[in-house]
Amino acid sequence: MFKAGPRNLITDVEGLRVGNNGDARLKSGVSAVVCDVPAVAGVQVLGGAPGTRETDLLAPHNLVEGVDAVVLSGGSAFGLDAASGAQAALREMGRGFAVAGHRVPIVPAAILFDLANGGDKDWGRFPPYRELGYTATETAQADFALGSHGAGTGAMTAGLKGGLGSASCILKNGATVGALVAVNAVGSVTVGDTAHFWAAPFEIGAEFGGLGLPSPFPEDVREVTTKFNAPSPGTNTTIGVIATDAKLTKAAARRLAIAAHDGIARAIWPAHTPLDGDLVFALATGHRDMEPDPASIVELHAAAAAVMSRAVARGVFLAETAADDPVPVWSQRRR
């Protein structure tokens, strides 16, 4: 049986810190996962409309083995500037891949589309994401806020406000798995029109309300509820990070990212649509000097799915109301 880590955050994985920076007027923001030392990384994209930076270098056959940080941002393609801000902050810290006498911080990034959420996007010539990314990276720490913060500031799902979620668990062999996710999906995180989360079977305690699954299931349980038949069209994509303190190769990290996508599919329905840019980065810090054996690797992958599923629900559960929100928060639906 899985148990949550002491913070129930991705930072329970030793060697990681997270920084958030958001703008309430903009209704958008940035979250940066900063690695104390370069972490082995992988990525898997299953959505049909991704926006990314520096994902090709994560392929197992490519040169760079470790990354200095991973950035999740709102702002659609404009939000890719956040990685430049993170890179600047890391360069000032003396971080980066050593090449020809220079240090080049390695910062893969992914974005979600939140331009149509009611925020003021009239930012002038240059978007604000570079500065948001700089501050998020510079202020990264072990404890950080969830819900309407960072990359989840203006996130929405089908019929409910989305948000930034995180969760962790400790495996029987002592390894830790953690997830961070910005939930802005085309699909729904709740069962029909209820307050019950699809992720309920994986909940630990009452971390997202403790309601369990509805019994009986509502009549509309099979209805495909998306932003295109709910009052929040034009926003999409769930982007996340799965992390462990175990030692993994780049190929194994990618396989962990694939497993974490199962958690998205269990927490959001429908998921991985052609209109989502669903993506998961994987990080392996190696702080626990153990390489999973064939038996424990199955538990690791199961935990990745469960933790990601819980993180998705927590992001929506903890969302907060803001002026001119086009959809309610979860607490307003509960009944």
Residues 86-100 pLDDT 10s = 999 999 999 999 899
d(CA 142, CA 145): 10
Confidence of residue 33 (pLDDT cuts 50, 70, 90): very high
Q: Identify the pLDDT of residue 9.
A: 98
d(CA 120, CA 130): 17
Q: Identify the pLDDT of residue 86.
A: 98
* Mean pLDDT of all residues in 133-148: 98
* Mean pLDDT of all residues in 12-34: 97
Given a contact cutoff of 8 angstroms between Cβ atoms, the answer to whether 146 and 162 are in contact is no
Q: Identify the pLDDT of residue 81.
A: 98
Query: Any idea what DSSP says for residue 200?
Result: G
Query: Is residue 331 predicted with pLDDT exceeding 50?
Result: yes
Q: Identify the pLDDT of residue 151.
A: 98
Global pTM reads 0.95
224 contact partners, CB below 8 Å, separation of at least 6? 269, 270
Map tokens 């010539």 to a residue. Answer: 125
d(CA 232, CA 230): 6
Q: Identify the pLDDT of residue 229.
A: 53
Helix axes 129-138, 81-92, angle to 10 degrees: 40
Q: Identify the pLDDT of residue 291.
A: 84
Residue type, 24: A
Segment 44-88, tens digit of pLDDT: 999 999 999 999 999 999 999 999 999 999 999 999 999 999 999
Q: Identify the pLDDT of residue 289.
A: 83
Given a contact cutoff of 8 angstroms between Cβ atoms, the answer to whether 2 and 201 are in contact is no
Q: Identify the pLDDT of residue 66.
A: 95
Given a contact cutoff of 8 angstroms between Cβ atoms, the answer to whether 149 and 155 are in contact is no
Q: For residue 36, give the 3-state DSSP assignment.
A: strand
CA-CA-CA-CA torsion sign (146, 147, 150, 152): positive
Q: Identify the pLDDT of residue 231.
A: 43
Segment 277-288, tens digit of pLDDT: 999 999 999 999
d(CA 86, CA 133): 5
d(CA 58, CA 73): 19
**Residue 52 region, left (φ>0) first, then alpha (ψ -120 to 50), else beta?**
beta
Work out the number of other CB atoms within 10 angstroms of the CB of residue 65: 16
Segment 171-190, tens digit of pLDDT: 999 999 999 999 999 999 99
Nearest C-alpha neighbor of 198 from the set 279, 269, 273: 269
Query: Could you tell me the two tokens for 330?
Result: 């979860």
Pairing relationship of beta strands 52-53 and 66-73 according to DSSP bridges: unpaired
Work out the number of other CB atoms within 10 angstroms of the CB of residue 158: 26
Q: 212: part of which helix (H) or strand (E)?
A: none
Query: Is residue 35 predicted with pLDDT exceeding 80?
Result: yes
Q: Identify the pLDDT of residue 294.
A: 83
d(CA 138, CA 72): 15
Q: For residue 90, give the 3-state DSSP assignment.
A: helix
Segment 220-248, tens digit of pLDDT: 777 776 655 554 445 689 999 999 999 99
47 contact partners, CB below 8 Å, separation of at least 6? 237, 238, 272, 273, 274, 275, 276, 277, 278, 279
Q: Identify the pLDDT of residue 232.
A: 47
